[in-house]
Structure 1
């Protein structure tokens, strides 16, 4: 663990580890609240849409998928606006306020009485998501030091991936046993604990006093920022098209009981946890290499899942592989955005989560459309494969455009100057 500072005082390795763990606890809560609906979708549909569920479980499940999209859209709206606004403020204070907002919004979800009010509460709960991950990633990158930024991002995101391995299956089990509302109440407790941990363990890091919202928003004038956002949102939508409907895939395609759903979610989470760290390691060497390893792998495993999901061992293998490939992309896109955003580091770090949650909303929506059209519960997997192909095409176009631009200016493309870009970005953060 490298020596690091909070801006004035050297920090011990133990203090750095505690700070990273505190940040990861927050991301653990975020991962659980974001994804728990996937495992409880039929329970939520049955409770909030009883008439529609009695008439057509498929249509009710598809409509309940709107809750996933609502949270994702909250992330999309909140990430750039909050991150740009808070860039000048001390980062620990910002993280504590965001943690408190998560706690309150998740309690509201557990208490909301109707589908419409739950929909609104999920949108509100998503608003702090991207800003938390963005600011936490900048804090972690500074703690880790130059040359290890992507691994710092991966450590923050490890809470999210562990949530998919432990938090989501556990919350799904609690929700199936005691009602879906109890799952969200459990998540609210996690957020309260995370907020306290951040307050006590994370060292204060100053914001950029000279930064303004206008300066942060300059990121949107950079073509490569838009490419990175499109790659993340469209390409990652392939994962969410599958994940959003994993519960009915288990019960209706594989023919297993709902009690197996938490174990399938565990397999996805295990794959995500391993893929997150592998992706962070590869991205620190080459973001380009990481993209062109994980996206083609994602396409292969989605096709494999679509062809073999009726066989239980194959289901477990391919959902694990799907999680591995998808989460390998996470720290890669995060690092790419930080590299191409210039001085707009706060908004760049948060925009990654806007991109991924556009993918969340897009995948859940398109998967729901195909299910409602009668194409069956495997149709979202094929939707995911198509979106992944689009993500690969965008990555190719992005790097081709960057190479042409660099050649015209007589400089090397960014990914070939990784150490220089890494050190510069670390200094800006």
Structure 2
């Protein structure tokens, strides 16, 4: 990563790497907050006097807020300076976290979660665009991967540590910690992130036109199915490892860490490969993802093979993140923030669809054994879409010779 300096309006030099680390911290805080209630449903339900399923709405409601709130707010703030946008919605996110910390009832807690979720999508979208704009030419993928590593660290460390702290100190404490992290990121960004130029005078109609073109919608579908394949199986990885592989609960925690280490490696490698050859990096990563999940159908019966496959699966699953973000920004035209926010919504929609498909497979005749295979087929759908878009098609229903060429 470059240590080239940029200058704030007042002339103070700032290293680009430092700016990217601040954006990574913001991603870590927001990503941890999204996952936090999953490990604290029992104490939250007991303390607020609701059922476990009702407490689960803290997760579902947050996801819906990300999917639908982010794009709407992105349209409403389309002309706002990028640094102002980051500061504003980090403040909104922190306010939601404070609300959760001080919640006197389940209703107040849910309201705080929804407030935070509305900031989630637009923050992630703006951070991805800022990371691209801060990067040196030809290193955009690595820059996006760097800030994306905040999310993988949130999965590996943030959520588990938050669960532990919540169990030891009460479920409110992790929300307080998230608030403090968001505040630190806000102060750092306010002081050290430069005022990043953005296109002026882009009308709402032009932005909507940019994100409604077939080439752009195709990329969103690739995101939905590419990420959906991962979550179709990963949502149920614990019962697979316990009931099929025969691992204990404590061993599963270690194996999930192995997945997380693989995801960090894959995220960084995917960013570097995307800078060199974007489409081969994306399609190759999805192929590896589909193969690793299909193989897990058989390797899950053997402990050593299962661990190796989970590691490869983690590498593949996150190797496609930076390429997908870069492809979306390439297709976005002047609607960079809106496009990136829509892609975050597509990621979350993929999570929901994948988990739903995996659940339906478990309830069917093949049952739990078939979940990895079904997940692989979901990812294969994304591969077909990506290949179809990459091959010049002279006469197709969309009237384009190549969906990736305008």
Candidates 150, 158, 161, aligned match of 1:170: 161
Shift in CA distance, 46/135, structure 1 to aligned 2, threshold 3 Å: closer
Residue 117 of structure 2 corresponds to which residue in structure 1? 126
Query: What is the deviation of 1:18?
Result: 1.3
Unaligned runs of 5+ in 2: none
SS, match of residue 128 in structure 1: helix
Residue 30 of structure 1 corresponds to which residue in structure 2? 30
Residue 235 of structure 1 corresponds to which residue in structure 2? 226
Shift in CA distance, 89/290, structure 1 to aligned 2, threshold 3 Å: same
Structure 1 residue 295 corresponds to structure 2 residue 286: yes
Alpha-carbon separation, structure 1, partners of 2:175 and 2:199: 35
Candidates 217, 220, 225, aligned match of 2:211: 220
Cα offsets for 1:78-122 (capped at 9, x unmatched): 332222332322222211221122223234445667777766654
Candidates 209, 212, 220, aligned match of 2:200: 209
Alpha-carbon separation, structure 2, partners of 1:37 and 1:245: 17
Residue 357 of structure 2 corresponds to which residue in structure 1? 366
* Cα contact 1:173–1:262 (8 A) shared by 2: no
Q: Which range is displaced more, 362-371 or 337-346?
A: 362-371
Shift in CA distance, 343/355, structure 1 to aligned 2, threshold 3 Å: same
Query: What is the deviation of 1:263?
Result: 2.9
Alpha-carbon separation, structure 2, partners of 1:44 and 1:374: 35
Shift in CA distance, 181/304, structure 1 to aligned 2, threshold 3 Å: farther
Query: What is the deviation of 1:230?
Result: 0.2
Question: With structure 2 as the length reference, what TM-score do the two structures score?
Answer: 0.84
CA RMSD of aligned residues (A): 3.5
Residue 138 of structure 2 corresponds to which residue in structure 1? 147
Candidates 320, 340, 344, aligned match of 1:329: 320
Alpha-carbon separation, structure 1, partners of 2:247 and 2:72: 43
What does 1:278-357 correspond to in 2, within 5 Å?
278-309=269-300, 311-357=302-348
Residue 418 of structure 1 corresponds to which residue in structure 2? none
Question: With structure 1 as the length reference, what TM-score do the two structures score?
Answer: 0.80
Alpha-carbon separation, structure 2, partners of 1:102 and 1:171: 17
Alpha-carbon separation, structure 2, partners of 1:379 and 1:360: 18
Alpha-carbon separation, structure 1, partners of 2:166 and 2:304: 26
* Cα contact 1:87–1:208 (8 A) shared by 2: no
Cα offsets for 1:167-212 (capped at 9, x unmatched): 2332233345455554444333322322222222212224433123
Structure 1 residue 97 corresponds to structure 2 residue 71: no
* Cα contact 1:287–1:332 (8 A) shared by 2: yes
Structure 1 residue 78 corresponds to structure 2 residue 78: no
Q: Which has the higher helix share?
A: 1
SS, match of residue 89 in structure 1: coil
Cα offsets for 1:295-343 (capped at 9, x unmatched): 1111111123333335444443333222211111111111111111222
Unaligned runs of 5+ in 1: 54-59, 416-420, 422-429
* Cα contact 1:41–1:247 (8 A) shared by 2: no
SS, match of residue 320 in structure 2: helix
Shift in CA distance, 185/370, structure 1 to aligned 2, threshold 3 Å: farther
* Cα contact 2:286–2:383 (8 A) shared by 1: yes
